Amino acid sequence: MKIRPRRLRANELVRSIVRESRLAKECLVQPLFVTDANAGEIKSMPGQHRFDVNKVGGEAKRIFDCGVKAVMLFGIPKKKDPDGNGAYEKNGIVQRAVKGIKKAVPRLMVITDVCLCQYTDHGHCGIVQGGRIANDRTVEVLAKTAVSHIEAGADMVAPSAMMDGQVSAIREALDGAGYQDIPIMSYSSKYASAFYEPFREAAESTPKFGDRKSYQMDTSNVREAMKEINIDIDEGADIVMVKPAIPYLDVIASARRRFDVPLAAYSVSGEYSMVKAAAKNGWLDEKNVVLEMLTAIRRAGADIIITYFAKDAAVWLNGRK
Ligand code: PBG
């Protein structure tokens, strides 16, 4: 008898029946930027736009029509202040965008990013006190912000500030406001990554001083990521996240092995922009590279993938034989 693994690679029919990881449109989430000041294409992220809050419904409909079921919403407000109070305004940018999207496409799931960095004038994810990020004061504002997003009609909140106790505070605030059924997707292990650079241009959220290393995780650590995820599950997170994705596939795989809850991975702006730049130069085939990357994230163990390629990937998957 000869050992012949190639038998199961002989043609697409047999390859497809033994395939271990599958990419489906249903697992993709498209991030969306909304603004009422500075709409237009994002230079560092070709193909991605800051959408006028009054017109975002149209894009939401296009996304839904491609087969993507969920968006992750980021707001870019006109006004900022030291404490990020704009984040929970009743008629704030995200709150209005949620209403517009839900009106245009009621069946599209709207997940909102809950953080202060777009709303603080210094660009940090929390309130600064004596040169440091004040954890507990920030958590209070995050909880109010989460409730305001749900009041506006969002389906799920995704806290991303990396403050201690943010998940339990948000859970308590939601429950207190009667939103016991609203799930929390926590950015549990969010690294202090250099891959967020294009996003900060898009969201105008670059910190004016210092960096985010006192709250986002050290890029060398994996045990610490497991600890953060564990804490978030204890605090009531329904879905946990690893971010970025491609440079952190080992973290996704460890989390998958260890925790029996839905796992999301956020393939961030830098991952998008690298592929776009190489594709523009003719150095990579965009479609094949993107589908391979997204499949790799699934193979590592993610159930949900947040990616700027969601809409394009859905179209490509629709066209697959
Ligand atoms: C806000 C937030 C960031 C990203 C998602 N939510 C920026 C940051 O932490 O600096 C990054 C997303 C991306 O790069 O695509 N806290």
Q: Find out whether the beta carbon of 145 lies less than 6 Å from any atom of ligand 1.
A: no
276 catalytic residue (yes or no): no
**pLDDT tens digit string along 19-43?**
999 999 999 999 999 999 889 999 9
196 neighbors 269 (Cβ within 8 angstroms): yes
CA-based torsion, 146, 192, 233, 272: positive or negative: positive
User: Residue 240: what pLDDT?
Assistant: 98
The overall average pLDDT reported for the chain is 97
Query: DSSP readout, 188-246?
Result: EEEB--GGGHHHHHHHT---SSS-STTTSBPTT-SHHHHHHHHHHHHHT-SEEEEESSG
Does residue 302 surpass a pLDDT of 70? yes
69 catalytic residue (yes or no): no
User: Residue 242: what pLDDT?
Assistant: 98
**pLDDT tens digit string along 109-136?**
999 999 999 999 999 999 999 999 999 9
265: Cα separation from own chain's centroid: 8
Beta bridge partners of 129: 132
User: Residue 321: what pLDDT?
Assistant: 52
Name the 3-class secondary structure at 283: coil
- Res. 320 pLDDT band, cuts 50 70 90: confident
Q: Find out whether the beta carbon of 265 lies less than 6 Å from any atom of ligand 1.
A: no
147 neighbors 118 (Cβ within 8 angstroms): no
Q: Name the pairing type of β-strands 128-129 and 70-76.
A: unpaired
User: Residue 315: what pLDDT?
Assistant: 97
Q: Find out whether the beta carbon of 115 lies less than 6 Å from any atom of ligand 1.
A: yes
Does residue 253 surpass a pLDDT of 70? yes
Name the 3-class secondary structure at 110: strand
**pLDDT tens digit string along 46-91?**
999 999 999 999 999 999 999 999 999 999 999 999 999 999 999 9
- Choosing from 145, 160, 241, 269 the residue with most ligand 1 atoms within 8 A of its CB, the one to mutate for a pocket test is 160
User: Residue 38: what pLDDT?
Assistant: 86
User: Residue 204: what pLDDT?
Assistant: 84
Q: Find out whether the beta carbon of 60 lies less than 6 Å from any atom of ligand 1.
A: no
Q: Across the chain, which distance is largest between two alpha carbons, in Å?
A: 74
Q: What is the pTM of this model?
A: 0.97
- Choosing from 199, 200, 214, 269 the residue with most ligand 1 atoms within 8 A of its CB, the one to mutate for a pocket test is 199
Question: 161-175, 263-277, 307-321: lowest mean pLDDT where?
Answer: 307-321
